[in-house]
Amino acid sequence: MNNLDDLAFSRALVALFKNVVFKEEEQEHWEIITKKKNDIEDYVSKIGLTLIVDEMDGYCYLKQRSYGEGEEAIPRLVPRHALSYPVSLLLVLLRKQLLEFDSTTGDQRLIVTKQQIAERMSIFLKDTTNEAKLVADIDKHIERVEKMGFLRRLRGSEDRFEVQRILRSFVNGEWLNNFNERLEMYQHYANGGKLKEGE
């Protein structure tokens, strides 16, 4: 590689270390990552990471490598963050909506509005007389999920979002199997019950 190629490769790597890279938004980085996939895999494996590339949906990201029994694990580079109850709820609801969307339509893009999100979430949030606070809180949860890369605000719009398909990778089969149990738990919480420790 010449100096320009080295620079482009380095920039693509930095983009990967910072966040998810979407083909539609970062075409230049995407092309380098898919072209140099093996080189990147070799590079990141030395620090305990795995490159995940979904060419069909057009995204890639770095994931902490899983270790088998007897393998010596490298210390985690990507920290784990505990998700709050409302953020977990929002992710589950969006994943469920994406699942329903994919089974009933041939469209590729699921677009949701802030109002639709609020209506779905409010069923599972505790009743409050302070409507303004509820709306402000839901806005914060939406912003958090947007920063995580699972929602993308449509250009020129304040309240319309595209649900990013990387959500399917994050909310995996284990989450899907627990949909009903989780939603029942959230409904119980909304009706004044307590969440069990660890939920």
> For residue 141, is it within any domain?
yes
185 and 92 in a single domain? The answer is: yes
> For residue 135, is it within any domain?
yes
pLDDT band of 182, cuts 50, 70, 90: low
- The tally of domains found in the chain comes to 2
Mean pLDDT across the stretch 157-175? Answer: 83
Q: Is 196 helix (H, G, I), strand (E, B) or coil?
A: coil
45 and 97 in a single domain? The answer is: no
Q: Which domain holds residue 97?
A: 85-190
CA angle (145, 62, 44) in 5-degree steps: 155
175 and 141 in a single domain? The answer is: yes
Could you read off the pLDDT of 73-113 as tens digits, one per residue? 777 776 666 778 888 889 888 988 888 888 887 678 899 99
